[in-house]
Amino acid sequence: MLLKVEYSLSISYKEALNLFVNHSILSIITNISTYFFGHNDLALRGPFILLYVLSAFLMHKITKNYFKYEKDRFINILIFMMLPGVLSASLLVNTAIIVTFFTLLYIYYYNKHQKHLYILLPFLLFVDNSFAILYLALFFFSFKTKDRLLLYLSVILFFISIFIYGFSTDGRPRGFLIDTVGIYSAIFSPVLFLYFLYAIYKVAFFKDRNLVWYISFTALILSIVISFRQRVYIEDFAPFVVIFLPIMLKMFLNAYRIRLREFRKSYNILAILTILMLFINIFFTFINKPLYYFLPEPKKHFVYQYHFAKELAKELKERGINNIIIDDEELALRLRFYEIYIGDEYFLSTKEFYNYDEKVVISYSGKDLFFVYIKKLK
Q: Which residues of 10-26 are buried (b: 16+ CB within 10 A; e: fewer)?
A: bbbbbbbbbbeeeeeeb
* pLDDT-based confidence at residue 103 (cuts at 50, 70, 90): very high
Torsion sign over Cα 238, 110, 246, 50:
positive
Phi, psi (rounded to 5 degrees) for 326? -140, 145
Amino acid at 326: I
Radius of gyration, CA atoms only, the chain: 23
Distance CA(112)–CA(109), nearest Å, equals: 5
Q: Is the pLDDT of residue 187 over 80?
A: yes
Question: Exposed/middle/buried for 325, CB within 10 Å: 0-12, 13-18, 19+?
Answer: middle
pLDDT of residue 182: 84
The answer to whether the beta carbons of residues 77 and 59 sit under 8 Å apart is yes
Contact 171/230 with Cβ under 8 angstroms? yes
Q: Which of 188, 183, 180 is nearest to 273 (CA)?
A: 188
Among residues of the chain, what percentage have pLDDT more than 90?
A: 47
CB atoms within 10 A of CB 365: 9
pLDDT of residue 2: 67
| Per-position b or e across 218-228, b if 16+ CB within 10 A of its CB | bbbebbeebbe
Strand duo 323-326 + 341-342: pairing: parallel
The answer, yes or no, to whether residue 310 has pLDDT greater than 60, is: yes
pLDDT of residue 175: 66
pLDDT for position 168: 57
Rounded to an integer, the average pLDDT of 77-105 is: 92
Whether 170 has a pLDDT exceeding 60, the answer reads no
Mean pLDDT of 335-355: 89
- Asked if residue 114 has pLDDT above 60, the reply is yes
Q: What share of the chain is helix, strand, coil (3-state, %, to 5)?
A: 65, 5, 25
DSSP one-letter string for 306-318: GSSHHHHHHHHHH
Farthest-apart Cα atoms in the chain, separation: 80
Looking at residue 5, the DSSP 8-state letter turns out to be H
Q: How confident is the model at residue 172 (pLDDT cuts 50, 70, 90)?
A: low
* CA–CA distance, 194 with 185 (Å, rounded to integer): 8
Tell me if 62 sits within 8 A of 212, measured CB to CB: no
